[in-house]
Structure 1
Amino acid sequence: MSFLFGRAKSRATADLPKQARDHISKLEGPNGASKSEELARVLSQMKVLLQGTQEADSSPEQIYQLVTGLIDEDLLHLLAVNLFRLPFEARKDTQVIFSYVFRFRPAAAAPKSDPIALSYVVCNRPQVLVELCRAYDHKESATPAGSVLRELLKNEAAAAIILYDDGDAPGSSSKGLNAIDRDRPQSGRGVFWRFFDWVDKSSFEVAADAFTTFRELLTRHKELVPRYLSVNFDLFFEKYNNVLVQSKSYVTKRQSIKLLGEILLDRSNYSVMIAYVDRGEHLKICMNLLRDDRKMVQYEGFHVFKVFVANPHKSLAVQKILIMNRGKLLSFLSHFLEDRTDDEQFIDEREFLIKQIRNLPATPVPPQR
């Protein structure tokens, strides 16, 4: 008789995604509250099925059936879109479901193959990733979605989907990974560009989570990101400098300057760094940071400023600014952050910059490259 119970369990597993889809479709209707509770119960059942219990381990066969059911019913997309509408515990359960589903590989799968749900999403349903990003529009969904996103961003293809989302424009990731044109400049209308406002204009909790995801996008993949930044250099750094580096929020300003320094000093971003420190207007922004009223902003700004000064092939524009302000800079730097007496590296770097500025030529010299 046990095979009968096995069939019953199989049918119950197959029904869960269909039930969830039905409840989601009625969340905004007159019975939305009751449907929300019913959906929460279904999601809780899914979580238990994926995790197992103390009494019984999860079944790989049932997990496979649930994962394929979630894909077939387009439930990954529906849950991402409606995450903010779910009750608190249901949002937590959904986070667990996403995490398990996007990691699941069938036993017969090749060891280095992508999980089936992740492979499906990046090739056929990239909107799932886009909607997880858009969860930052709502404080209710920001944290669970952010946690899922950062796990997904360990995969380069998932990161590419988010970076290259550009609506219906040619070369956008909206039609899947294989449709991406990595050499086509972005319009700035894709979901990645929304992060600038999520980081700068959201509540503290949402902004902090969005920045963590934003940083992950820009620092993890050492081939994907430098190419992206090179192709979209002007648009990216215009937004980065104007929205984040010059933000009115102290937290946003400080952490954005620190991240800028990390990006510029990463060896994989060498060509991006050279392009950035060639611009006189970028140096002016950086010099203003050194005069900020807040010492930690000054300190983070110093680590960007030193990239300009240490560059042996300074552009004419950068040389002109440094030479014109040589006297003021030497006087300013000699007393800059004097209280950091225990920071030997900072003191050495400050002295190095003073020496470099003092030894600049009387007039700009064309750089030799």
Structure 2
Amino acid sequence: MAFFFNRGRSRQPADVARSTKELLLRVQETPNLPKAEEDLAKQLSQMKVIVQGTQEVNTSPDQVHALVQATLQEDLLYDLSRTIHLLPFEARKDTQTIFSHILRFRPSNYAPDKDPPVISYIVHHRPEILVELCRGYSESQSAMPCGVILREALKFDVVAAVLLYDQSKEGEPAVRLSDLKPNLPQKGDGVFWSFFDWIDKSSFEVSADAFTTFREILTRHKNLVTAYLATNYDLFFGQFNDVLVQSDSYVTKRQSIKLLGEILLDRANYNVMMAYVESGDNLKLCMKLLRDDRKMVQYEGFHVFKVFVANPNKSVAVQRILINNRDRLLRFLPKFLEDRTDDDQFTDEKSFLVRQIELLPKEPVERSRPARETQSGVNTAVA
């Protein structure tokens, strides 16, 4: 009779976490077991209720805290990140919700200026969770839920640091936050570099979500990314230009050129911008974009091209290309996207570039660099 009296009692968070762990292992070892998948979905649904509550039942901070501790003790977040692609659709959505709430959770009287405890735990003790979430882009079923979880985690700079500097291969331990080597140039082996393939070679839905996460990594924590790009400049922009800017996918190409412009025009990336606009090869790539068949590719390419022309300290290589193409550019630019009659800023920028090209010397001139504090005007003028 005790069985019937206990049926209505809610189970303890530790029991739910333990049962979920056991069912995850069963599903992982033997996929497509309907009963195991159904039971697992029920456990995940119960976990979601604990962390999120319902319209009728509010969450209990003590219950949430107990569940967070249990998930860490069972290493449940790692198992979920590895097996999310095996879960039924609703279970994947519940997993996304559970992850997001747990990553944000702060116990009562927890210092508000500190990273949430689960974020701190992951970057110091279990960074493999982040790497496995990124590898979720390898499966169409897990790409979008993993992307949502990653972007929640990327609100914290320590997470972005791990993703940028991890160079582990599959089956190897990921880098801990305390072991990062930001001054050591990379070889392109880590999980961050896989984003180029996920963006360029995946289905449209997977590619779009991967690009959103990729952009978040590169734009949210500016000081971190500035240092990273400075150390890995050649490798990063080699990949970015070859794989993304010249992608066969229109959407990838357009988004990547726009992101390139954002990176270069960000004040935090001033030195990166100056390195990029010194390259004659980069200028040739941008001029090629101006002649693309798609108008939006031309438009986004223009916003990168203008950085080269507006720079008052052009390299000899850039000067030579602009001087050799001066007449063609002066004929081309006034008619370039001339149907954008309602875009006064674009029209003014074209006029400014025409004037800068007219003022180019007959031959390239070696120019000394001004002091760093006087260079910031370049970015202002271009922007």
For the pair 1:359 / 2:359, whether they are aligned, the reply is yes
Residue in structure 1 matched with residue 107 of structure 2 by the alignment: 106
Superimposed CA distance per residue, residues 322-368 of structure 1 (whole angstroms, 9 cap, x where no aligned partner): 11111111111121111111111111100111111111011110122
For the pair 1:36 / 2:37, whether they are aligned, the reply is yes
SS of aligned partner of 1:174: coil
Deviation at 1:56, TM superposition (A): 2.6
> For residues 339 and 189 of structure 1, what CA distance do their matches in structure 2 show?
45
> For residues 274 and 17 of structure 2, what CA distance do their matches in structure 1 show?
51
Deviation at 1:30, TM superposition (A): 7.1
Q: Is the 8 A contact 2:128 2:173 kept in 1?
A: no
Residue in structure 1 matched with residue 308 of structure 2 by the alignment: 308
Q: Is the 8 A contact 1:166 1:173 kept in 2?
A: no
State the percentage of identical aligned residues: 60
Change (3 A) 1:36 1:216: same
Residue in structure 2 matched with residue 134 of structure 1 by the alignment: 135
Q: Is the 8 A contact 1:185 1:231 kept in 2?
A: yes
Query: Which amino acid counterpart does residue 335 of structure 1 have in structure 2?
Result: K
* TM-score normalised per structure 1: 0.95
Pairs within 5 Å for 1:119-130: 119-130=120-131
Query: Which amino acid counterpart does residue 332 of structure 1 have in structure 2?
Result: F
Q: Which runs of 4+ in 1 moved over 3 A?
A: 8-11
Residue in structure 2 matched with residue 97 of structure 1 by the alignment: 98
Q: Is the 8 A contact 1:165 1:173 kept in 2?
A: no
Pairs within 5 Å for 1:66-105: 66-105=67-106
Change (3 A) 1:75 1:166: same
Deviation at 1:296, TM superposition (A): 0.8
RMSD: 1.9
> For residues 175 and 353 of structure 2, what CA distance do their matches in structure 1 show?
49
> For residues 286 and 362 of structure 2, what CA distance do their matches in structure 1 show?
22
Residue in structure 1 matched with residue 260 of structure 2 by the alignment: 260
Structure 1 regions of 5+ residues with no counterpart?
none
> For residues 155 and 252 of structure 2, what CA distance do their matches in structure 1 show?
24
Q: Is the 8 A contact 1:173 1:179 kept in 2?
A: no
Pairs within 5 Å for 1:164-203: 164-167=165-168, 174-203=174-203
Residue in structure 2 matched with residue 273 of structure 1 by the alignment: 273
Deviation at 1:174, TM superposition (A): 2.1
> For residues 116 and 305 of structure 2, what CA distance do their matches in structure 1 show?
43
Pairs within 5 Å for 1:277-356: 277-356=277-356
Q: Is the 8 A contact 1:43 1:93 kept in 2?
A: yes
SS of aligned partner of 1:223: helix
> For residues 23 and 10 of structure 1, what CA distance do their matches in structure 2 show?
19
Residue in structure 1 matched with residue 373 of structure 2 by the alignment: none
Residue in structure 1 matched with residue 54 of structure 2 by the alignment: 53
Pairs within 5 Å for 1:139-150: 139-150=140-151
> For residues 146 and 124 of structure 1, what CA distance do their matches in structure 2 show?
22
Structure 2 regions of 5+ residues with no counterpart?
370-383
Deviation at 1:34, TM superposition (A): 1.8
- What is the number of equivalent residue pairs in this alignment? 362
Superimposed CA distance per residue, residues 157-209 of structure 1 (whole angstroms, 9 cap, x where no aligned partner): 011111111017xxx99231110011111110111111111111111111111
For the pair 1:20 / 2:20, whether they are aligned, the reply is yes
> For residues 111 and 203 of structure 2, what CA distance do their matches in structure 1 show?
43
Deviation at 1:217, TM superposition (A): 0.7
Q: Is the 8 A contact 1:10 1:62 kept in 2?
A: no
> For residues 200 and 228 of structure 2, what CA distance do their matches in structure 1 show?
22
* TM-score normalised per structure 2: 0.91
